[in-house]
């Protein structure tokens, strides 16, 4: 499937296409590279919302975005992508601003601990701790329904928290999973891992580095929940989900497999596949029309699901 020419041009501009560098970047270089890329792509001035405040929740740094509209609003706990090893409140600031604006919700962006300094289960524990605090103190946030969202590794966390909340009876109005890494096992049942292993933002070597740092590339751990939400024993009764996925993405088949699992379990699902898009497309919505349209579509569907649950 051909990649959107505007994305190809953007990747070439930032040196992200083939050939890949002979020596993989260090972790520090990868983290800084993600920051530079996302900040360069961010709109200037930034998307306007009601307020943006840095805070801590359950001892974990967060950034809280509040919409301009007064009154009760849904609260979305958001988990950033970055392969469990990179990303922070700044790299996903523009995504959270648009999510806040388009969904008209309070967004709590979680600055969870990163691997390898803090391997699994630290990241998952942070995601769960913030989500539980928000669920237990709605009056401190939007006061309305609770929803979960994340991209890539953050989509993995959002899906895993949704499963945990289903199990303990905590209501979740909806979950938004954008190119989620739903299964860390990287089995042969996912041909997209090889098909898009090079030159599509997320490479095979990137995955190797991330999973080595996060779960020590342990095959047994990769086939368990919560590291892999697809591997949970039962997906029935989960919150309705919106999934957004580019077809030119190494994680494509993992995402589609998770969508199949949710459908089979009777979960309300709105799946959007985008033929010309690659992994990690969300930050480029102000630069690429097809990404802008995709973001608008998935956020609108997410808002509908939340509104229906209110």
Report pLDDT for 19: 60
Sorted by where each begins, the domain ranges of the chain are 5-309
The CATH topology of domain 5-309 is Rossmann fold (3.40.50)
How do residues 175-203 score in pLDDT, each as one tens digit?
Answer: 999 999 999 998 889 999 999 998 888 98
- In this prediction the pTM is 0.97
Report pLDDT digits (tens) over 26-52.
Answer: 888 889 989 999 998 899 999 999 999
pLDDT given for residue 20 in this prediction:
65
Catalytic residue (one of 152, 185, 192, 290)? 152
Find the catalytic residue in 228, 247, 279, 285: 279
> Residue 12 to residues 20, 150, 220, 240, 292: CA-CA distances in angstroms?
12, 26, 38, 37, 20
Q: Which is catalytic among the residues 4, 183, 249, 285? A: 249
Predicted pLDDT at 201: 87
**Does residue 249 have an active-site annotation?**
yes
pLDDT in tens, 269-288: 999 999 999 999 999 999 99
pLDDT greater at residue 68 or residue 14: 68
pLDDT of 23 reads 76
Q: Specify the pairing of strand 60-66 against strand 51-57.
A: antiparallel
Share of the chain above pLDDT 70, in %: 98
Annotated active-site residue 217? The verdict is no
Nearest to 134 by CA among 52, 57, 240, 61: 57
- DSSP result, the chain: -PPPHHHHHHHHHTT-SSSPPSSPPPHHHHHHHHHHHHHHHS-SSPPP-SEEEEEEETTEEEEEEE-SS-S-EEEEEEE--STTTS--TTTTHHHHHHHHHHHT-EEEEE----TTTS-TTHHHHHHHHHHHHHHH-GGGTTEEEEEEEEETHHHHHHHHHHHHHHHHT----EEEEES----TT--TT-THHHHTSSSSSS-HHHHHHHHHHHHTT-HHHHTSTTT-GGGSS--TTPPPEEEEEEEESTTHHHHHHHHHHHHHTT--EEEEEEEEEETT-GGGTTT-HHHHHHHHHHHHHHHHHHHHH-
C-beta of residue 306 within 8 angstroms of C-beta of residue 145: yes
The per-residue pLDDT for range 197-239, each reduced to its tens digit, is 988 889 888 999 999 999 999 999 999 999 999 999 999 999 9
- Assigned token pair, 186: 């990287």
Active site residue 93: no
End-to-end CA distance of the chain: 39
Please name which of 229, 210, 226 lies closest in space to residue 115, comparing C-alpha atoms. Answer: 210
């Amino acid at each position: 499937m051909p990649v959107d020419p505007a994305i190809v041009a953007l990747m070439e501009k930032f040196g992200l296409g083939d050939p890949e560098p002979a020596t993989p970047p260090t972790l520090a270089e990868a983290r800084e590279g993600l920051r530079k890329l996302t900040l360069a792509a961010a709109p200037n001035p930034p998307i306007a919302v009601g307020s943006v405040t840095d805070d801590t929740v359950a001892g974990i740094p967060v950034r809280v975005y509040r919409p301009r509209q007064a009154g009760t609003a849904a609260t979305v706990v958001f988990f950033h992508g970055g392969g469990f090893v990179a990303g922070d409140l700044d790299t996903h600031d523009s995504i959270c601003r648009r999510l806040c604006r388009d969904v008209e919700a309070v967004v709590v962006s979680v600055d969870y601990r990163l691997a390898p300094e803090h391997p699994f289960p630290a990241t998952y524990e942070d995601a769960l701790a913030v989500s539980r605090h928000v669920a237990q103190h709605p009056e401190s946030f939007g006061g309305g329904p609770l929803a979960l969202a994340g991209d890539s590794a953050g989509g993995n966390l959002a899906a895993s928290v949704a499963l945990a909340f289903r199990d303990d009876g905590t209501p979740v109005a909806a979950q938004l999973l954008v190119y989620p890494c739903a299964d860390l096992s990287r089995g042969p049942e996912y041909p997209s891992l090889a098909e898009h292993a090079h030159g599509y933002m997320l490479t095979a070597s990137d995955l190797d580095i991330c999973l080595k740092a996060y779960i020590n590339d342990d095959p047994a751990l990769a086939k368990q929940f919560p590291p892999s939400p697809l591997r949970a024993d039962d997906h029935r009764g989960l919150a309705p989900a919106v999934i957004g996925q580019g077809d030119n993405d190494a994680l494509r088949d993992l995402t589609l497999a998770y969508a199949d699992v949710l459908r089979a379990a009777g979960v309300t699902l709105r799946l959007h596949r985008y033929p010309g898009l690659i992994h990690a497309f969300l930050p480029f919505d102000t630069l690429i029309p097809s990404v802008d349209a995709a973001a608008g579509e998935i956020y609108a569907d997410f808002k509908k699901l939340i509104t229906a649950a209110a």
